[in-house]
C-alpha cells in the first residue's frame, strides 16, 4: 500500500497534478444524506426519552413502586403489582428458556451434521420462529398453554409463552458464542483423550459463557418489553395484588402501561410515563450488565 513516491528533485517536469478537483458536490450531499439518516434515529431516540421523562417527572416518586393500580384515584395509583409481576414472569422465563436454548445451541453447533435434512429443518425453523409476530405466540399461549393444557391466566402460562417467544434469540446468540471458540481448542482436548461431552463441558462452555450471558440478557430484556402476547391471555387488566406463586394471576409493566394509555384522563398520561421510565430503567440496567459482561469477560483468540 506504498504511497506513490514523489520525486522532489525534478524541477524540469511540470508539477504532477496530485490533487483532485475537490470533492464533487453530489459526493458531499450523499455523505450528508447518509449521516442524516443516522441522525434521524438519534434525534428520535433523544426526543422520545426526553418526552417520557418530562411527562413522568411529577409522578416519579415512591408512589409508583409502593402503591397499587387504582382506576378511580390515579393520583395515588402505582405500579407495584406490575413491577412484581414483571420480575416473577421474567424469572420463570429465564428458568425455562435459558437451559433449553443453550442445550439446543450446543446440539446444533457441536453435534448436528448440517447436511442432514432434519438439522436443516431445525435451522430454518428457528430462523422463521425468530421472525414470527409476537401476537402469534399469544395465540399459541391462549390456545395451547392457557386453554389446551389448562394452565389459565397465570404466571406459569405467561412465562412459558415468553420463553417460547425468546427461545430463538437465545439459541442464535448462544450458537454465535459457541462458534467463536476456535476449533483448535476442541481438537486439543479431544486429542488428549477427552470425550466429546468432556470437551464441551470443560473447554467450550467456559469459553462461551460470557457471549451466552450477553445474548441471554438481551433476549430476556426483549421478553420484559413484550405486551402483545400477554394481552391475548386476557384478564390481566385490574390486578391489584402481587403474585404469590406460579399459579397466581398477575400483570406486568407493559400491560399496565397499555391500560393507562387507554384511559382518557390526563393524570394517566403522567402515570403511564412514570411506569415507562421504570420499565426503561430496568431495561437499561440489563443492557448495561450485558455490555459490561461482554467487555469484561469476552476473550479474543
Partner 1 sequence: MSVPQQRQRTASGTPGFLKRSQPRYGEQAVKVLLVAASLVSVLTTVGIVVALIPPTRDFFAEIGIGEFLTGTEWAALFNPPEFGVLPLVGATLLITLIALVVAVPLGLGAAVYLSEYASPRTRTVFKPVLEVLAGIPTVVYGFFALKAITPFLRDHWWFDEPPQIFNALSAGFVMGIMIIPTIASLSEDAMAAVPRALRDGAFALGSSRMQVSTRVVFPAALSGIVAAVVLGISRAIGETMIVAIAAGLRPNLSWNPLEGMQTMTAFIAAAGIGDVPVGSIGYKTIFAVGSLLFVLTLVMNLISIRLVRKYREVYE
Whole-angstrom Cα distance, residue 77 to residue 7? 79
CB of 227 to partner 1, least distance (A): 5
If binding is defined by CB under 8 A, does position 211 make contact with partner 1? no
If binding is defined by CB under 8 A, does position 100 make contact with partner 1? yes
Q: Which of residues 40-99 bind partner 1 (CB under 8 A)?
A: 40-42, 44-45, 47-48, 51-52, 55, 99
CB of 104 to partner 1, least distance (A): 4
If binding is defined by CB under 8 A, does position 190 make contact with partner 1? no
The residue (of 9 and 300) whose beta carbon lies closer to partner 1 is: 300
Whole-angstrom Cα distance, residue 63 to residue 57? 12
If binding is defined by CB under 8 A, does position 249 make contact with partner 1? no
The single residue among 16, 75, 91, 148 that binds partner 1, judged by CB under 8 A, is 148
CB of 94 to partner 1, least distance (A): 15
Q: Residue 125: CB partners within 8 Å, gap ≥ 6?
A: none
Assign 23 to helix, strand or coil: coil
If binding is defined by CB under 8 A, does position 186 make contact with partner 1? no
If binding is defined by CB under 8 A, does position 197 make contact with partner 1? yes
Q: Which stretch binds partner 1 (CB under 8 A): 72-80, 182-190, 206-214, 254-262?
A: 254-262
The residue (of 216 and 273) whose beta carbon lies closer to partner 1 is: 273
Q: 13: which 3 cell numbers?
A: 517536469
The single residue among 71, 144, 190, 246 that binds partner 1, judged by CB under 8 A, is 144
Assign 10 to helix, strand or coil: coil
The residue (of 207 and 227) whose beta carbon lies closer to partner 1 is: 227
DSSP string covering 168-186: HHHHHHHHHHHHTS-HHHH
The single residue among 79, 156, 212, 276 that binds partner 1, judged by CB under 8 A, is 276
If binding is defined by CB under 8 A, does position 178 make contact with partner 1? no
- Here the contacts of 53-62 (C-beta below 8 Å, separation 24 or greater) are 53/273, 53/277, 55/269, 55/270, 55/273, 56/270, 56/273, 56/274, 56/276, 56/277, 58/270, 59/270, 59/271, 59/273, 59/274, 60/274, 60/277
Residue 133 phi, psi (nearest 5) = -55, 145
- How many residues belong to the site for partner 1 (CB under 8 A)? 91
Amino acid at each position: 500500500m506504498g504511497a506513490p513516491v514523489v520525486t522532489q528533485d525534478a524541477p524540469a517536469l511540470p508539477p504532477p497534478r496530485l490533487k483532485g478537483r475537490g470533492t464533487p458536490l453530489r459526493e458531499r450531499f450523499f455523505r450528508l444524506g447518509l449521516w442524516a439518516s443516522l441522525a434521524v434515529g438519534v434525534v428520535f431516540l433523544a426526543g422520545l426519552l426526553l418526552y417520557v421523562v418530562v411527562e413522568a417527572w411529577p409522578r416519579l416518586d415512591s408512589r409508583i413502586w409502593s402503591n397499587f393500580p387504582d382506576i378511580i384515584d390515579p393520583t395515588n395509583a402505582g405500579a407495584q403489582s406490575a413491577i412484581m409481576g414483571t420480575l416473577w414472569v421474567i424469572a420463570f422465563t429465564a428458568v425455562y428458556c435459558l437451559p433449553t436454548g443453550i442445550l439446543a445451541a450446543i446440539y446444533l453447533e457441536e453435534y448436528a451434521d448440517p447436511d442432514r435434512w432434519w438439522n436443516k429443518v431445525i435451522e430454518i425453523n428457528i430462523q422463521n420462529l425468530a421472525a414470527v409476530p409476537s401476537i402469534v405466540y399469544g395465540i399459541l399461549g391462549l390456545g395451547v398453554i392457557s386453554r389446551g393444557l389448562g394452565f389459565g391466566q397465570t404466571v406459569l402460562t405467561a412465562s412459558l409463552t415468553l420463553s417460547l417467544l425468546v427461545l430463538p434469540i437465545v439459541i442464535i446468540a448462544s450458537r454465535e458464542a459457541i462458534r467463536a471458540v476456535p476449533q483448535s481448542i476442541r481438537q486439543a482436548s479431544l486429542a488428549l483423550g477427552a470425550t466429546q461431552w468432556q470437551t464441551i463441558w470443560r473447554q467450550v462452555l467456559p469459553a462461551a459463557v460470557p457471549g451466552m450471558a450477553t445474548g441471554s440478557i438481551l433476549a430476556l430484556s426483549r421478553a420484559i418489553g413484550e405486551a402483545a402476547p400477554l394481552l391475548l391471555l386476557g384478564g390481566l387488566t385490574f390486578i391489584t395484588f402481587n403474585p404469590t406463586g406460579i399459579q397466581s394471576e398477575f400483570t406486568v409493566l407493559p400491560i399496565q402501561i397499555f391500560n393507562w394509555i387507554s384511559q382518557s384522563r390526563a393524570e394517566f398520561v403522567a402515570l403511564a410515563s412514570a411506569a415507562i421510565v421504570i420499565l426503561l430503567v430496568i431495561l437499561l440496567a440489563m443492557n448495561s450488565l450485558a455490555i459490561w459482561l461482554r467487555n469484561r469477560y469476552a476473550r479474543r483468540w
